Structure 1
Amino acid sequence: MMTQHVNGPRVAITGANSRTGQQLLADLGGDAVALVRRADGVNARTVITDWTTAPAAVAALGRAGAVVHLAGNFGAPNWEDYLAGTVATTRLVADSVTPGTRIVYLSQLGADSFAENWYERAKGMAEDVLAPMNATVFRISAIVGGRENPQPFDFMVRGGDDGAPVPIAGDGSQHFRPIHINDVVHAISLATQPGSPSGVYDLVGPEEHTMQEWVDIAHGGHTRTTRRTDLPPAIDDLLANPVTAGDPTALLAAFPELHLTDWRP
């Protein structure tokens, strides 16, 4: 399925039906090429489905002035799925764009092509693919939206009913700097502009606390927590044992227009 227009939009977005992709599309007024597996709920000027096998997607990537690459696998049950969903799609983008095209990629804190964690390893391999290109890589961790636009991390720290312990990943001692979804979208938009700085930046929030402290803040005082057991192994490891909480110093120096939101769950 493809909807085509004579004067195409400047930005192509892979994984445009993700939470971040949907908000970015709204911020752009839908003026983008959405590259997705299925078109359900995607409101964009141009929509290309089955994008990893569609010739129209390769053509759209070749025409785009900037590509925001959000597609990837999260919580896959095996390594082959991460290779296909994260690494192979990044190679497809890199091979399809014209030289010098701006590429913006959402990676992960701790991304490393030699990491034991499958998710971090795949993200690291994707970063390696983009390293020689005109690419801005944003390493993220916990994305939040507050009570008006809650994201998974919001629900995690606010969970628990009737005084029951709040289910969390890990033992509560791991550190996070949650980044607001509005700041993520703003940073992406800035990075798509011609002449924006290339490189790898920690896209993290202004305030750091442990998971337990974030739960306590959400509930207005010390709150009991319990270890979640329902997460896929790679994602449980990612949240329970984060490599770093990140540091936004380089990010803010590179993108001075970005003002990070103080978030409270």
Structure 2
Amino acid sequence: MAGSDLATNGQVTVFGGSGFLGRHVVRALARAGFRIMAGCRRPDLANYLQPLGRVGQIQPVQANVRYPQSLAAALRHAEVAVNLVGVLTETGDQSFEAVHVSGARAMAKAAREAGVRRFVQVSAIGADPQSESLYARSKALAEDAVREVYPDAVILRPSVVFGPEDDFFNRFAAMARFSPALPLVGGGHTRFQPVFVGDVADVVALAAEGGARPGTVYELGGPGIKTFREIMDYILAVTQRRRALVPVPFGAMEAPAAATETLSKLMLGLFPKTLLMTRDQLKLLAHDNVVSAEAVAEGRTLQGLGNEPRAIETVVPSYLYRYRKHGQFDRDSRLA
């Protein structure tokens, strides 16, 4: 990546630094030469981040969006702030409004008061203030909250993010281990443009260095677009499983989704995440999750930033092999 006045000794505070995307962002920022404060609710459980950089380069720190003083402490001496905090489902106090909208507003305000120069907000393709999905609406409102404080903030909207610890390919591969059939919600026609977590992390680091256009919304997708059915077929091929793919209309999924939501609440978070499908997620699945033609034409993409995205075929088999009947040592070409 190009050098900058921050690349040798600047400090970046990464909120959500211990999560799936966070650990890759921390690694990319460390390679770029930043000092990193990885903000998370339980820094005592995030020491695995430190070996991603040089001695003393990465420091997990306590940060909770509900406690402004913790945000201020995490931002001390920072010149760049990155917000990766997000939830896919609401649980208890972790609502979309509290985490995405109020959280982003609190971070941006604390960053401005701390004198932070750049703010990078990671959102999601599909963010729309008019969306029927609470998740998509909250992501759009979070962008607005950040822009109120940082009009020149860089907004990154990735499609479905894949990588070794993802909650997408791993989830359906895990389901295929024990379920004789997998549901194709809405018939499996929804289109996705999966993007590699390392590519998203590289763009975050580039934006932190000042290599992205200020005040711009970038849409990040991989090199290929696949339908939900094509993705499920691919997962079964890689894991060497033979399972029925059953098309299920969106309407028919409403009752099961409501049931799993209720069970998840009653079981206080002990309900298996693999089986959880919420009604809000159904609303998201009703719309394609791909980079817009406008973003492509205006260069607001990975390729427009000089990044050649990696395809799922080059990465996904390296971590889905463990879902085969005999794991990585399975040499039997027959489907289980």
TM-score w.r.t. the length of structure 2 is 0.66
RMSD after superposition: 3.0
Match of 1:203 among 195, 216, 220: 220
Contact 1:127–1:137 (CA under 8 A) maintained in structure 2: yes
Residue 5 of structure 1 is matched in structure 2 by none
Residue 127 of structure 1 is matched in structure 2 by 143
Structure holding more helix per residue: 2
Residue 21 of structure 1 is matched in structure 2 by 22
Whole-angstrom CA distance in 2 between matches of 1:100 and 1:22: 22
Match of 1:67 among 81, 92, 101: 81
Contact 1:68–1:103 (CA under 8 A) maintained in structure 2: yes
Which stretch shifts more, 152-161 or 201-210?
A: 152-161
The percentage of counterpart residues that share the same residue type is 22
Residue 76 of structure 1 is matched in structure 2 by 90
Contact 2:78–2:116 (CA under 8 A) maintained in structure 1: no
- Give secondary structure in 2 for the equivalent of 1:218: helix
Residue 12 of structure 1 is matched in structure 2 by 13
Report matched runs for 1:94-113 at 5 Å.
94-98=108-112, 101-113=117-129
Distance 1:141 1:252, change over 3 A: closer
Structure 2: runs of 5 or more not aligned: 1-8, 51-57, 257-275, 317-336
Contact 2:81–2:118 (CA under 8 A) maintained in structure 1: yes
Residue 263 of structure 1 is matched in structure 2 by 312
1:186 correspondence with 2:239: no
Residue 234 of structure 1 is matched in structure 2 by 280
Report which of the two structures shows the higher radius of gyration computed on alpha carbons: 2
1:233 partner amino acid = R
- Give secondary structure in 2 for the equivalent of 1:190: helix
Distance 1:90 1:163, change over 3 A: closer
Structure 1: runs of 5 or more not aligned: 1-7
Distance 1:215 1:80, change over 3 A: closer
Whole-angstrom CA distance in 2 between matches of 1:63 and 1:162: 50
Match of 2:245 among 192, 202, 225: 225
* Cα offset, 1:183, TM superposition: 0.7
Whole-angstrom CA distance in 2 between matches of 1:70 and 1:210: 27
Which stretch shifts more, 169-178 or 76-85?
A: 76-85
1:213 correspondence with 2:230: yes
Match of 1:142 among 153, 160, 171: 160
Match of 1:34 among 38, 54, 65: 38
Contact 1:11–1:68 (CA under 8 A) maintained in structure 2: yes
Whole-angstrom CA distance in 1 between matches of 2:186 and 2:35: 40
1:208 partner amino acid = I
1:153 partner amino acid = F
Whole-angstrom CA distance in 2 between matches of 1:195 and 1:151: 27
1:25-82: per-residue Cα shift (whole Å, max 9, x none)?
Answer: 2334494111111121343533322433152521443632211101123200589821
Distance 1:179 1:78, change over 3 A: same
1:245 partner amino acid = V
2:60 partner amino acid = V
